[in-house]
Amino acid sequence: MKNSQYKANYQQSYRVWSCLLVLLLGIGGFTLPGCPPENGTPPNGDNNDGTYTGSAVAPGLLFEIKDVVIPADNRPEVSFTLTDNLGNPVPLKELTDLRFALAYLAEEPGMGGATRFVNYTPRVRAGVTQATSDSARLGGTSQKANGSFIYKFNTALPDDFVQSATHQMGAQATRAYPVNDQVYPAESIYRFRPDDAVVTATREVVSTETCNSCHTRLEAHGGGIRREVQHCIVCHTPQTFDDVTGRNLDFAEMIHKIHRGQNLPSVQDGEPYILADLDFSQVAFPQDIRNCAVCHTDAPHAEVYLEQPTKSACVACHDRTWFGNRDEVPEGYDMHVGGQQVNDNLCAQCHTPTAPGSSPIFEAHMRPRDSAAAPGLRFEITNIEVLPDETSGGRLRITFDTLDKDDLLYADLSELGTMGVTLAYPAPEFEVAVREPIVGGGGPRGVLTANQDGSFSYTFALRLPNLPDETFAVAMDGRVSFNFRGQNYNQGTSSNAYSLFTLDGSAPTARRAIVDEQKCNQCHDEIRFHGESRVGVNLCVMCHNVNATDVARRPGEAMPPESINFKDLIHSIHRGEDLANDFTVYGFGNRAHDFTDVRFPGRLESCNICHLAGTEQVPIAPEALSTMVTHEGELIREVFPERAACTSCHDHLMTNVHAILATDNGVETCATCHGSGSSFSVDWVHQLSP
């Protein structure tokens, strides 16, 4: 935020709390500027115009549709309430917008039993049809004396509308609260049948909660006021097309294509996927796109993709498959194996949910690592010894098991493509990391011994530093190759056998925990990099420590090196396209990885997307060290730990200057203003808008 925004928000906060204080103390006859008059209690009787005029005493907006009736003129009438966070009715004069969209659920001919909503209020714009909301908006709204509302549609339903069909209404409202000058949005979803029978048929293929595990809070259209999937699908029906590109905006097709993004066959062929003025061709799904269950889960109809395949849903991802006449296959397209398909009625005959079937859906989307062909790999360190050495702190020897997916021991480690072991020290903030290869790769190599019980022992070539009271960490990495459907794949270890030890046998100190790996896995499925071989955040932070840079991979003309400390690296990668400066890191094969096009799917303000509770606060743990960037023995820059955490996201020059000025003789004073409870606390600065 800019300083002016800080000031405005502080003033708004002051006004809210001041007003509430006046109300709580009951100071009669006294009103602060911007405070609501009286106490917001609704009047007992009607006003002259028959509407409620009391003013709410609290911020927020809660929207609930109570009933929908369809009178003789076929123009639906909606009864609903809008209240503040304390349950007080919100006056009509504080509403800035109100919209209602209505659709019915239909099984259209040729859809193979699948259902879609049909919107009652489509419009034609720029020559294309778009489902939308009713046009009456605030003009069709009246408020009763008790504070509740009635909305009357401009649109009349057709005389032959299906009264036994499930009808679904998606509504949105925005309220400008005069006390803090904040605008609050709210939505309401309502299902009914005009014949008053119980609603049994719905379409709930994905849930908002599942989407928000990556997206934090779904937001679209005009400031992000539409946030519920069940609202989206009332308008994103097969009726709706983009008025700029002409592309279909049916929810299933649009969402599949957006999520596949840069890996769409059409995009790979050079045709960008653009909707209106938004180019989704650079979207990178953060895990294997074949993992359909990452989205299709925890919803009543989550398995519809298995049970009711349709061309529109499938061709959204596989968009270079041709279902038309064999003699008219466009260049770059592949003819559908099953031949021409004029509708969806035959899809499920071949595309059964699972085997047997000529082309079962589950097996077609199976990730190689989940197949029967994948052998599995897992390491377990069963013993750690420090062998005496007269010239050092000793030599490390570990004993370990190497197991497949059936928990059977690998008798010959040469079956593995690569295998290594990493040592890092000291905890709780690692500064040094050394990896020694056991199978494949180059570098110093110790002694591997096969034991009679099927385990192996490895003695490091490295001699340990004489640090008897410090904590060391050791972890393993590796992968095994296998063939699946005629292609070779790598499967990495499922466990890195991360272990802590000390030279004198005292209790080790764990490396400070900052992120919750399960939170990472909500988007990434699992944290796995470097050719599938290295898994888990605890292994990442061993090598990606405060002294680590990409100097070994970066070409001379691209010097100086870049820090790859985990904190700096992950913040900058996730900030991606919102960074002020280029962020490029060189990796294996001396390849440049430019992360300035990364699109983060969530809300970056929400640090708890990744962080363990409280670990994003300042002051940070005293054991946290500065990020150090050196080159050829010279210190290029030192970034103190709190500055490093903040400026790897907020990388503007002035933010860095601000952080430097807040450092006094090597002591960061960030917590003075940004500490918990302070004027510009981390929580306050990063709070989401309503």
Q: What is the pLDDT of residues 182-226, one digit of tens each?
A: 999 999 999 999 999 999 999 999 999 999 999 999 999 977 899
d(CA 147, CA 53): 8
Whole-number pLDDT of residue 55: 62
Q: What is the pLDDT of residues 578-592, one digit of tens each?
A: 999 999 999 988 899
Q: How much is the average pLDDT of 326-341?
A: 96
Whole-number pLDDT of residue 51: 64
| Dihedral over Cα of 293, 295, 298, 304: its sign | negative
Going by pLDDT thresholds of 50, 70 and 90, the confidence category of residue 56 is: low
Beta-bridged to residue 515, according to DSSP, are 611
Whole-number pLDDT of residue 675: 96
Q: In 3-state terms, what secondary structure has residue 409?
A: strand
Question: Residue 56's closest CA among 109, 20, 105?
Answer: 20
- Say which DSSP state 653 is in: H
Going by pLDDT thresholds of 50, 70 and 90, the confidence category of residue 48 is: very low
Provide CATH code, domain 378-535. Answer: 2.60.40
Strands 634-639 vs 627-631: parallel, antiparallel or unpaired? antiparallel
d(CA 431, CA 624): 11
Going by pLDDT thresholds of 50, 70 and 90, the confidence category of residue 5 is: very low
Write down the domain spans for the chain: 1-35, 36-233, 241-366, 378-535, 573-685
The pair of structure tokens assigned to 606 is 């929400």
Q: CB of 103 within 8 A of CB of 167? A: yes
Q: How much is the average pLDDT of 474-495?
A: 97
Whole-number pLDDT of residue 113: 82
| Dihedral over Cα of 635, 637, 643, 645: its sign | negative
Peptide bond into 428 cis (omega under 30): yes
Give the CA distances from residue 529 to residues 302, 311, 548, in Å, rounded to whole numbers and listed in that order: 30, 35, 17
Judged by average pLDDT, the poorest of 112-116, 454-458, 470-474, 571-575 is: 112-116
Q: CB of 117 within 8 A of CB of 234? A: yes
> In sequence order, which ranges of 495-546 are alpha helices (DSSP H)?
517-524, 537-543
Q: What is the pLDDT of residues 283-329, one digit of tens each?
A: 999 999 999 999 999 999 999 999 999 999 999 999 999 999 999 99
Peptide bond into 194 cis (omega under 30): no
d(CA 431, CA 548): 8
Tell me the range of 223-227, 443-447, 671-675 where mean pLDDT is highest: 671-675
Whole-number pLDDT of residue 256: 97
- Which one is predicted more confidently, 667 or 39? 667
The answer for 170, left when phi > 0, alpha when psi is -120 to 50, beta otherwise, is beta
d(CA 507, CA 234): 59
The pair of structure tokens assigned to 343 is 């509708």
Q: How much is the average pLDDT of 611-627?
A: 96
Whole-number pLDDT of residue 110: 74
| Residues found in the chain | 690
- The overall average pLDDT reported for the chain is 91
Q: What is the pLDDT of residues 97-151, one digit of tens each?
A: 999 999 999 987 777 788 999 999 999 988 999 999 999 999 999 999 999 999 9
Whole-model pTM: value is 0.89
Going by pLDDT thresholds of 50, 70 and 90, the confidence category of residue 365 is: very high
Going by pLDDT thresholds of 50, 70 and 90, the confidence category of residue 29 is: very low
21 has pLDDT over 90: no
Q: Which helix (H) or strand (E) holds 674?
A: helix 671-674
Judged by average pLDDT, the poorest of 74-78, 194-198, 266-270, 391-395 is: 391-395
542 has pLDDT over 90: yes
